[in-house]
Amino acid sequence: MAEIKNYTMNFGPQHPAAHGVLRLVLEMDGEVIQRADPHIGLLHRATEKLAENRTYLQSVPYMDRLDYVSMMVNEHAFVMTIEKMMNIKVPIRAQYIRVLFDEITRILNHLLWLGAHALDVGAMTVFLYAFREREDLFDCYEAVSGARMHAAYYRPGGVYRDLPDLMPQYQAANNKSKKEMDRLNNNRQGSLLDFIEDFSNRFPTYVDEYETLLTDNRIWKQRTVGIGVVTPERAIALGMTGPMLRGSGVEWDLRRKQPYEVYDKMKFNIPVGKEGDCYDRYLVRMEEMRESNKIIKQCISWLRDNPGPVISKDHKVAPPRRQEMKEDMEAMIHHFKLFTEGFHIPEGEAYCAVEHPKGEFGTYIISDGANKPYRLKIRAPGFPHLAALNEMTQGHMLSDLVAIIGTQDIVFGEIDR
C-alpha cells in the first residue's frame, strides 16, 4: 500500500490573500496546515542601503514607501531619530500636527486592514465601505502635502508647512450636476481642520456601520473566535507589538509607555484583548480607531487656538522661508547648503520608535559625522509577526490561514524593506 504523505502547496506570491507578495510553502495534511514556511524578499528594495547614499532629507520619502498604508508614521520614526541625534527642538504646534496625522494615519491603516481582513474572510462590502472613508483621509494628506499617499510631510525639525486655511474643493466637471457638486464640497468650505473635524464627527457612525456587518455576525465569529490564539507570554517572546500584542491582553503602547511628541497630554484608552485570537485583535483594532478619533478631536481643538511656527527656526536643518531668501544672503546660503549637501549628524547612534498602527516601528541610525547615515536599520513590526505565522497557523485549516494573515495586518513594504 502506498504511503500516505503530506503534500506541499505553494501559496502565493500571486494569491488574492497574499497581501502583496507573500509566498508561503505550506505542508498540508488534507486541508489542515502542518507547517507554514513564509518566503520573503520579493519586494526587497534595499531601503536601508539606499539611505546610506543619500542625505538624511532625501531618505524621508523612502520611509513613506516602507509600510505604504501608514506613510506618515514611518516618516515620524525616522525624523524623530534625526532630531534625537541632533537635539533639535520641534515647535509644539508641529508636535500636535504630527500627532494629528499619526492618528489619521492609524485610522487609514486600520481601515485598510479591516477591509482586507474582511475580504479575506469573504465579506466584501466592508472593504468598499472602508475605502469610502479612506478617500476623505487621503484628501487630508493631499491638502497638507500635495500627495495622497507618499506625503514626505514630516521633516527633521517639524513638518513641511502649516495646515492650509482652505480645504481644496472638487472642481466642476460636466458629468456632475450643481447639486452633486454642492454635496461633494459641502464639508470643504472651511479650513482643513474644519474638514477633519467634520470627518471625526461622522467617523464613529461609520465604525458602527462596520461593526453591524461583522461584530455580532455569527459567521464572522465562527471564522475568527479561537483562530490563531497567541498567549501573552508567547506574544512577548515572539516580539509582537501593537495590536497583535494588545490582542493577547498585554497592555503595551509606546504612546503611553514612552510618550513622544504630545501624547502625554492626550486622553485616550488602550484597548486590550483577552483571548489573543483573531476576534480579539479585530475588536482591539476597531476600538483603536475610535480612540484615534478621540485624539484627533483633542488635537483639532488645540490646533485651532494655538497658531505658531511648525518647523524649527534652526536653518541648519530646516530650510528658511522663501521670503527670507529674497532678502537675506545667509538664508540663501542655508537653503543652498541644505538642499545640496544636506545637514551633518554628529558621530553617534540612536534608536527611536513610534507606536505604528502595526506595532513598534523604529529606526536605528549610526552616524559617522557625515551628511548621510553610516548605517540605517529599520525595525518593522510586521517582520516578527510574519515570523510567528507558522506557530499561529499550526493545526488550523487553509481558510484560517487566510484569516490569520489578515489579522496580522501584513504589509510587504515594511517586511521586505
Partner 1 sequence: MQPILQEYFPAFADTIWVLMKIVAIVIPLMISVAYLTYFERKVIGYMQGRLGPNRVGYFGLLQPIADALKLLFKEIIVPTKSSKALFYLAPVLTIAPAFAAWAVIPFNAELVLADINAGLLYVLAMTSIAVYGVIIAGWASNSKYAFLGSMRSAAQIVSYEIAMGFTLVGVLMCANSLNLGDIVAGQSGGILQWYVWPLFPLFIIYFISAVAETNRAPFDVAEGESEIVAGFHVEYSGMAFAVFFLAEYANMILVSVLAALMFLGGWLSPTALIPDGIHWLLIKTAALLFFFLWFRATFPRYRYDQIMRLGWKIFIPITLVWIIFIGAMMQTSYNGMFH
Written as one letter, the residue type at 3 is: E
Q: Quick check: 132 binds partner 1 (CB under 8 A)?
A: yes
Interface positions, 74-93, toward partner 1 (CB under 8 A): none
Which residue's CB is nearer to partner 1, number 132 or number 313?
132
Please, are residues 149 and 137 in contact by the beta-carbon 8 Å criterion? no
Provide, rounded to whole angstroms, the least separation between the CB of residue 214 and partner 1. Answer: 7
Provide, rounded to whole angstroms, the least separation between the CB of residue 279 and partner 1. Answer: 12
**Contact residue for partner 1 among 79, 303, 402, 411 (CB under 8 A):** 402
What are 124's strand-pairing partners? none
262: helix, coil or strand? coil
Interface positions, 220-259, toward partner 1 (CB under 8 A): 220, 222-223
* Start-to-end CA span in the chain (Å): 49
Sign, CA dihedral 415-153-372-92, equals negative
Provide, rounded to whole angstroms, the least separation between the CB of residue 186 and partner 1. Answer: 17
CB under 8 A: which stretch of 119-127, 331-339, 371-379, 409-417 binds partner 1?
119-127
Distance, C-alpha 257 to centroid of its chain:
19
Q: Quick check: 128 binds partner 1 (CB under 8 A)?
A: yes
Which residue's CB is nearer to partner 1, number 31 or number 182?
31
Which residue's CB is nearer to partner 1, number 124 or number 172?
124
CB under 8 A: which stretch of 128-136, 308-316, 327-335, 365-373 binds partner 1?
128-136
**Contact residue for partner 1 among 83, 103, 277, 400 (CB under 8 A):** 400
Q: Quick check: 339 binds partner 1 (CB under 8 A)?
A: no
Angle among Cα 24, 77, 364 to the nearest 5 degrees reads 75
CA–CA gap between residue 35 and residue 229 (Å, rounded): 16
**Contact residue for partner 1 among 57, 121, 244, 388 (CB under 8 A):** 121
Q: Give the Å distances, CA to CA, from 203 to 36, 127, 172, 195, 303.
A: 38, 16, 27, 12, 20
Taking CB atoms within 8 Å and a gap of at least 24, the contacts of 249-254 are 249/273, 249/274, 249/276, 253/355, 254/353, 254/354, 254/355, 254/360
Which residues make Cβ contacts (< 8 Å) with residue 106, sequence separation at least 6?
Answer: 70, 73, 288, 289, 292, 357
Between 192-214 and 92-121, two packed helices, what is the crossing angle to 10 degrees? 30
378: helix, coil or strand? strand
Which residue's CB is nearer to partner 1, number 127 or number 160?
127
The H or E element that residue 106 is part of is helix 92-121
**Contact residue for partner 1 among 21, 40, 73, 214 (CB under 8 A):** 214
Provide, rounded to whole angstroms, the least separation between the CB of residue 215 and partner 1. Answer: 12
Provide, rounded to whole angstroms, the least separation between the CB of residue 18 and partner 1. Answer: 10
**Contact residue for partner 1 among 7, 177, 313, 336 (CB under 8 A):** 7
Provide, rounded to whole angstroms, the least separation between the CB of residue 134 and partner 1. Answer: 13
Which residues make Cβ contacts (< 8 Å) with residue 202, sequence separation at least 6?
Answer: none
Q: Quick check: 307 binds partner 1 (CB under 8 A)?
A: no
Q: Quick check: 129 binds partner 1 (CB under 8 A)?
A: yes
Interface positions, 359-398, toward partner 1 (CB under 8 A): 397-398
Q: Give the Å distances, CA to CA, from 104 to 65, 68, 150.
A: 17, 14, 14
**Contact residue for partner 1 among 120, 139, 288, 360 (CB under 8 A):** 120
Please, are residues 91 and 310 in contact by the beta-carbon 8 Å criterion? yes
Written as nine digits, the cell of 14 is: 500571486
Which residue's CB is nearer to partner 1, number 134 or number 297?
134
What is the secondary structure of 233-256 as a DSSP string? HHHHHTT--THHHHHTT----HHH
Q: Quick check: 184 binds partner 1 (CB under 8 A)?
A: no
Q: Quick check: 119 binds partner 1 (CB under 8 A)?
A: yes
Number of residues in contact with partner 1, rule: CB under 8 A?
30
Q: Quick check: 213 binds partner 1 (CB under 8 A)?
A: yes
Interface positions, 13-72, toward partner 1 (CB under 8 A): 15-17, 31
Residues at the site binding partner 1, with contacts judged by CB under 8 A: 7, 9, 15-17, 31, 118-125, 128-129, 132, 213-214, 217, 219-220, 222-223, 397-402
